[in-house]
A and B are shown apart, each in its own frame.
Chain A
Amino acid sequence: MPKDSSIKHVLLIGSGPIVIGQACEFDYSGSQASRSLREEGIKVTLINSNPATIMTDPVTADNVYLLPLEKKSIIKILQDHPDIDCVLPTMGGQTALNLAIDCDRAGIWKKFGVRMIGVDIEAIDTAENREKFKALMEEIGVGVCKGDTATSFLQGKEIAQEIGFPLIIRASYTLGGAGGAFVEKAEDFEKALSAGLQASPVHEVLIEQSILGWKEYELEVMRDNIGNMIVICSIENFDPMGVHTGDSITVAPALTLPDTVYQRMRNYAITMMNSIGNFAGGCNVQFAVSPDNTEIIGIEINPRVSRSSALASKATGYPIAKVAAKLAIGYNLDELTNSITGSTSAFFEPSIDYVIVKIPRWNFDKFKGSDKKLGLSMKAVGEVMGIGRNFQEALQKACQSLEIKRNGLGADGKELKDQDQILYSLANPSWDRLFHVYDAFKLGISFRTIHDLTKIDKWFLKQIEELIYIEAEIEKYELEDIPRELMELAKRKGYADRQIAHLLGCLESEVFDKRYQEMGIKRVYKLVDTCAAEFEAQTPYYYSTFGEENEAIPSDKKKIVVLGSGPNRVGQGIEFDYSCVHGVLAAKECGYETIMINCNPETVSTDPDISDRLYFEPVFWEHIYEIILSEKPVGVIVQLGGQTALKLAEKMDKYGINIIGTSYEALDLAEDRGRFSTLLKENEVPYPEFGTIHNTDEALELCKTIGFPLLVRPSYVLGGQGMKIVINEKELEEHVVNVLRDIPNNEILLDHFLEGAIEAEADAICDGENVYIIGIMQHIEPAGIHSGDSYAVLPPYNLGDYVMRQIETYTKKIALALRTVGLINIQFAIKNDKVYVIEANPRASRTVPFICKAYQEPYVNYATKVMLGENKVTDFEFNPVKKGYAIKEPVFSFHKFPNVNKELGPEMKSTGEAIYFIEDLMDDYFLKIYSERNLYLSR
C-alpha cells in the first residue's frame, strides 16, 4: 500500500531527559523520523522536555513543544492544533509509549480524533505484560522460561517455591530493567521480591527460571503493514545471559552461530512479530540460546525503535527510524528505496563485511556506594562502538573510544595482577570484566577456568587469548628491529601506536614514524554501505582499517573537521552532541566540506546524513591524526565536543594542526588556574582566594592562608570529578590523598569556598573584539552544588542591577582577555552583592542548548561562523524571545543505584536535564524548588 494520504499532521513524542536506560538514541530516532515524515509533506508537531536535543530544534519539526511529557501537555498541543490526526509514539522509548498508553486510557486520542500509528496498544500490552507475552509464546510454539507473574508478595513466594532457585525477578513496565534481580538463594528472595513489586508502577513482577550463562542475541526487525519482514541486524552479546543487554558488550553480526540456528531464531522472530499484533515499524526481539545450540528461548519483544535499533542503524548503515516512520504512514517496504545505495530496495537484509563491537560506558565513580555488579538492571550511562575488519580490531577500537585512560585492551601496563581479584571479577561482572579477562590470560589462568567463570563463548575468549601471544611476540623486538609483518599484524588487530610503544619500550611518536613513514603501514577507509560492497553506495560513512584500498578519496574542497564528544557520561552528555551537530551544519552553510569524527552510536552527530563525511572512529589521537593527514582540512573545531575534544587541542597544536576559533594557548590559560588568576587580577576581576598544591604538606600549609571552608579541585577533570568541600585539616588531608591516588601527579587547587553564596553563570560568543552575552542564569541552590546538578533560571530571578552589571562586565573582560573566538562559559559566585569569578571555559557549555531553546536563537550556528572567521559578532541581529523564565531542571538516575546517597555536592551526578517555562515567579513549580533549595546540599 502506498502512503496513507489521509495523514496530514503527526504528533511525535520524544523521550524526555536523559536517564540511564534511555539516552540520546531517541534524539537520533526522533529527528530521523521527523525528517522522514516531513519529506512526505506531512506536518510534524513534536513534544519533548529535553532542550539539549536536535529533535526539538525548529529545523526538525513544524511545531516544537518543550513541555513536560504528561497528559496535560498533550491536551494543550491537541487544543492548539486541532488538525493533528495521528500520533507516532514509537520513537521516544518507553517514556513515549507509556504516555501514549496513558492518553489512550484517558480517552484523549479518541476525544481529539487522533489515530495512533506505528503500533497498536494491544501489541504494546502483549509485549510489556509478561504473563500475556508468555502465554502467547507458548501458543505459537516459541520457548519461554518457566515462571509466572505475581502481583502480591504471597503469590511471588508461591511461584518461587514451584520453580526453585536460581531465579530471576523482572518488574513490569519499568525502564532499562529497573526493579529486576537475580536471586541465587532462597534467603535473598523476599527482599528482591518486594523491591521488584515496588519498582513496578502496576505492582507486578515476573518470576522466572534462570538461564544464566546462555548465549544472548538480539534481532532488529522491521515489519510493514502487509507483514513483509526483514532482519536489519543480528547482535550477539559477548556477555552471556545475566547481564542486561544495555550493560553487555555486544557484537554484530552474530559471530558464533551456524546458519541453521540463526534461521531458527529468525523464524521465531517473525512468528513472534506476527503474533503480537498488526503494526508497522521497527522491533527488537531478544533470545537466549543454550550453549549447545539446541534450545532457543524468546526473552522479550519491543515493538518500537530502541537503543539497539540505533546501534543496528549505525552498525549496518540502514536508517531504521527513517524507514519505520515511512512504514507508519502506510508505505510497504518494497515501495521504498535503500537510501544508502540510492538504487536498490529498502526491502532487504543488510550484509556487513566488518565487525562492530559496542562497549557500554559506566560512571560508577559518580555514584559512590553503588553496587557495581552488572545484572538485570541497566547501569551504563553511555556507549561506544568500534568498527573493524575483524573482531579484535573492532574490540581494540571500542576500548580506545571509552576514554577511561586506557589505550585499548591491554599493553598499557595497567593490568590487574591479583589472582583473587581477577577470579572474583570474572564471576561477578562489572564495568572492567573485559579487561580482567585479558588480565586473566596474561596472568596464566587457564582457559577452562576463565570460560567456567564467565561463560563467554570460547571463540571470543580465544580472540582475547591470541592478543597475549601477539604481544609476547612483539615484546621480543625493539623499535629498530621489529619486522614489518609483525607491525602490520599488530595494527590489523587494532593495537594503537601507544600500545605498541609500550610493548617495544619506546615513544608513541616513534612507533608512528616507523610504521607510517618508514614501513608505509597507513590506515585506509572503508565504507559502511549496508551491502558488503555488492552495490555502489552514496552515503559517506567511513571507518578505518588496515588494508589495500582506500575508499575515502579526499576531495580538494576546503574542509573542516568537527571533533565529537565520545560516549555519554555524567558531566558530558547530549548537550555536546547538540553543539557538534550545529557546528557541522553551520560550517556547511559557510561552504565547507564538513567532516565529523565520533564513536558514539546513539547520537545524531553520527547520523551519516548530518555531515558531508562521517568517520566513525575513536576520538583518540592516532585515529584523528591519520584522518587529518589524509583529508588535510583547513582546521579542526575542538570547542564543541566537550572535554573529550578539547583535551586533544594541545597535541594538535604541537603537530601544527590549525585549531579553529579560540587558540590552544587561550584554552590552556583558562585551565591553568595560576595563570588564569593572574589574568583576572590584571583585569581587576575578583575571584575567591586560592592556591595550588601537589601534596598534603603543601595543602596543610596553604590552608592556613586561605582559610576554611575550602573547595578542593583537581585540574583537567570532567564534571567536577574529585571535587569536594572540606572544613578542617583532617578532611583536607584525607581528600588530597584520595585525589592523588586516583589522579597521580595532579595539580590540585584549593579555593576559599564562599559559603552561602549565590551561583550564576553566563554563556557568551566572542570574535576576539566583540562580545555578546547569550544568556545569564542564576542557580536556585546555593554555592556548593555542581552547576550541572543545579536548577538554573534564565534570566536571573533575583539578582539586582548592580550584580548583573558586574557579571556582564566581567564576562566581557574575560572573553576578550582570553582572546576567545567562539563560545565561552563563565561561572560566578555572588556574596554580599560582590561577584567572584569561579572559572571560565572557552568552549560550548552544557547550558548553550538550553539557552538556544529558551531564547529560540541558533547561537551555536552563530558561534561557529565566528570561529570560522566568516562573521563578526556584530553581524548578527539578536532577537531573543524573552518571556517569563526558563528553568533548567537536572534529572538524576538514582533509582538505578538504591544504595547511593542522594546528596549533592561539587561533583556532578545528574544524567540529563529538562526545560520548564514559567510565566512569573509566583509559579508553583518555581516556589516548590526554591523552597527545597537546601534539601540535598551535602554541605
Chain B
Amino acid sequence: MKKQKATLLLADGTMFKGSLIGSAGTNGGEICFNTGMTGYQEIYTDPSYTGQIIVTTTSHIGNYGVIDSEVESDHPTIAGIVVNSFSEIYSRLDASGSLQEYLDKYKITGIADIDTRKLVRHIRAKGAMNAIISSEYEDDLAGLKAQLNLVPDMNGLELSSQVCTKEPFYYGSEDASIKVACLDFGIKLNILRNLADRGVYCKVFPAKTKLEELQSWNPDGYFLSNGPGDPAVMEYAVETTKEILETGKPVFGICLGHQILAEACGISTYKMHHGHRGLNHPIKNILTGKSEITSQNHGFVVKREDVEKSDTVEMTHVHLNDNTVAGIKLKNKPAFSVQYHPESSPGPHDSRYLFDDFVSLMK
C-alpha cells in the first residue's frame, strides 16, 4: 500500500506532492490539461503531445489497462502524466497489460494523488508553462528547479522533425485507386487508418521532405499531418506547402497541418493562453450550419483577423466556445484544413466526413 513519493514543480514555483506512477525518475515539459473522460492510451501515444506533461482531469486513469491496438504511434513521446486517481489494476478482458507496466516500459514518469482540479484551475488562470515531475528530488528543491530550468520553451520550438518518421513508409492497400502523400509532422495512426479505410494508399514522408521527392511518387493529393511544436518556426514545411499548393492537387491538413496551410497562405498563428485539449469541443460548420463535437489538442491557433482579411482563404469552421478559427479552405484551390482532429481517437466520430470530402476531391 505504501507508494513512492513524487513532486510536481511548475515554472512559477507552484508545487504539488503526490505519489509516483510509471517509471521513477525526473522529466520536464510544458504542462497542459486534457478534459477527455476516455482514451488515455490514445492521448499518451499521440505525437502532438511530444514534450508535454499531460494532466487528465477525469478522476480515474488506468481502469481498462492498455491494449496494443489502441495506439496513435509506436511509442509515447510525452514528458509525463498527472492524474487524480491511478489504477494499477484493470478489468478489460482483452487488455495487453496494465498502464503502470506500459509507462514503466517507456520510462514515463507520472504523479498521482494530487489535487488535479486545483492544478487545472491554476493552469487556466496562469496559462501554459513548463513543469517537472520527479521522484528523485524530494528534499532538494534547488536541484529540481535547476532541472526545470533546462526544459526548453515550447514557444519557438520545432519538434516535428524529431518525432516524424525517419524513412518513408507505406500504409493501406497498394491496389487502392487513390494515392496520398502524407507529410509527417507527428502523424496519428488513426489518420492513416481513416484514409486507408476509404480506399487510399498512403506514403508517409519525413517532415522535411522536399516537393520533388513527394511528386516523384505521383500522388493524387497531399496530406499535412498534426504534430507538436510551434508552427511559426517551421518555415521548411510552409515553403513545401506553398509549392504543393502550386501543383493544384487536393490538400488536406489537420491541426499543425492546418496551421501550416494557413501560414502558407500568409495567415499567422499565435500561442493560446492554455489551448484546447479534450474530446468535447463544439465546432460549427459554417457551410452546412450543422455542428459537431470534436477531439482537440492544440496550443497554437491561426489568427481570425488574418483569415477574415484574406482574399484567398475563407473560414469554414468556427469554435463555438471562443469563436476561434477551426477550419479553413482555399477559395480557388482544392485545399482545406481543420484545427481539430476528425480522426479523433480518442473522441467522437462526428467529423469523419472530412476524410470523405478529401477523398471525393481526388476522385
Q: What is A's interface to B at a CB cutoff of 8 Å? A: 226-228, 230-231, 234, 253-260, 262-263, 266-267, 291-293, 332-334, 343-345, 347-355, 389-391, 457-460, 462, 469-470, 473, 526, 531-536, 547-549, 551
Contacts and interface: CB of A to CB of B under 8 A. Distances in A.
Nearest to A292: B93
A870 B281 CA distance: 49
A348 B344 contact: no
A457 B91 contact: yes
B192 interface: no
A255 B60 contact: yes
B37 A534 contact: no
Given A266-B348, A292-B94, 19 more contacts: A234-B37, A256-B64, A258-B92, A262-B38, A347-B282, A350-B280, A351-B36, A351-B57, A390-B60, A390-B85, A391-B59, A457-B91, A458-B89, A458-B91, A531-B35, A532-B117, A533-B121, A549-B117, A551-B121
A811 B322 CA distance: 62
Nearest to A530: B280
Contacts of A254: 37-38
A332 B291 CA distance: 10
Contacts of B124: 533-536
A350 B344 CA distance: 17
Contact of A353 (B16, B117, B282): B117
B35 A230 contact: no
A470 B2 CA distance: 11
A350 to B, nearest CB: 7
Interface of B: 1, 16, 33, 35-39, 41-42, 57-60, 63-64, 67, 70, 84-85, 87, 89-94, 114-118, 120-121, 124, 278-282, 284, 289-291, 293, 320-322, 344-349
Contacts of A531: 35
A248 to B, nearest CB: 18
Given A257-B64, A348-B320, A534-B124, A227 B84 contact: no
A877 B283 CA distance: 56
A460 B89 CA distance: 11
Contact of A547 (B37, B117, B280, B344): B117
A256 B58 contact: no
A534 B38 CA distance: 17
Given A534-B124, A547-B118, A258 B39 contact: yes
- Report whether over half of chain B's contact residues are helix, strand or loop; otherwise say mixed: loop
Contacts of A547: 115, 117-118
B283 to A, nearest CB: 9
A216 to B, nearest CB: 15
Contacts of A258: 38-39, 41, 64, 67, 70, 92
Given A258-B67, A473-B1, A534-B35, A351 B348 contact: no
Nearest to A473: B1
Contact of A267 (B90, B92, B349): B349
Contacts of B91: 256, 457-460, 462
B346 A259 contact: yes
Given A230-B293, A344-B321, A459 B279 contact: no
A441 to B, nearest CB: 14
7 contacts: A255-B60, A293-B94, A345-B321, A348-B293, A351-B58, A353-B59, A532-B57
Contacts of A549: 115, 117-118, 121
Contact of B84 (A389, A457, A534): A389
B13 to A, nearest CB: 15
Nearest to A354: B59
B321 A348 contact: yes
Nearest to A332: B291
B64 A534 contact: no
A391 B58 CA distance: 12
B251 to A, nearest CB: 27
A259 B38 contact: yes
Given A391-B60, A534-B124, A348 B87 contact: no
A351 B94 contact: no
Residue among B41, B280, B345, B346 with the highest chain A CB neighbour number at 10 A: B280
Given A259-B39, A260-B70, A347-B320, A534 B120 contact: yes
Contacts of A257: 38, 64
A626 B90 CA distance: 35
A355 B347 contact: no
Residue among A256, A260, A460, A549 with the highest chain B CB neighbour number at 10 A: A260
B279 to A, nearest CB: 7
Contact of B291 (A293, A347, A459): A347
Given A469-B1, A526-B117, A534-B124, A351 B37 contact: yes
Contacts of B322: 344
Nearest to A459: B91
A469 B37 CA distance: 28
Given A226-B289, A531-B35, A263 B348 contact: yes
Contacts of A253: 37, 58
Residue among B37, B278, B282 with the highest chain A CB neighbour number at 10 A: B37
Contacts of A260: 70
Contacts of A227: 290
B59 A349 contact: no
A349 B63 contact: no
A458 B114 CA distance: 25
B280 A351 contact: yes
Given A253-B37, A390-B85, A351 B70 contact: no
Given A226-B290, A534-B124, A263 B92 contact: no
A88 B268 CA distance: 49
A348 B280 contact: yes
A266 B282 CA distance: 16
A240 to B, nearest CB: 12
Contact of B120 (A458, A470, A532): A532
A448 B12 CA distance: 49
B63 A533 contact: no
B84 A390 contact: yes
Contacts of B278: 351, 532, 534
A343 B320 CA distance: 10
Contact of B87 (A291, A459, A548, A551): A459
Nearest to A233: B37
A489 B346 CA distance: 32
B45 to A, nearest CB: 12
The 10 residue pairs across chains A and B that have the minimum distance between CB atoms: A259-B39, A259-B346, A549-B118, A345-B320, A532-B57, A459-B91, A547-B115, A259-B38, A349-B280, A458-B91
Nearest to A215: B91
Contacts of A291: 93
A293 B38 contact: no
Nearest to A458: B91
Contacts of A348: 280-282, 293, 320-321
Contacts of A353: 35, 57-59, 84, 116-117, 120
A354 B281 CA distance: 19
Given A226-B290, A353-B117, A263 B59 contact: no
Given A293-B93, A526-B117, A532 B58 contact: yes
Contacts of B117: 353, 389, 526, 532-533, 547, 549
A526 B121 CA distance: 11
A936 to B, nearest CB: 49
Contacts of B289: 226
Contact of B349 (A263, A533, A548): A263
A230 B282 CA distance: 10
A536 B121 CA distance: 9
B347 A263 contact: yes
Nearest to B60: A255
Contacts of B282: 334, 344-345, 347-348
B112 to A, nearest CB: 11
Contacts of B37: 234, 253-254, 351-352
A225 to B, nearest CB: 11
Contacts of B320: 334, 344-345, 347-348
B23 to A, nearest CB: 23
Contacts of B293: 230-231, 347-349
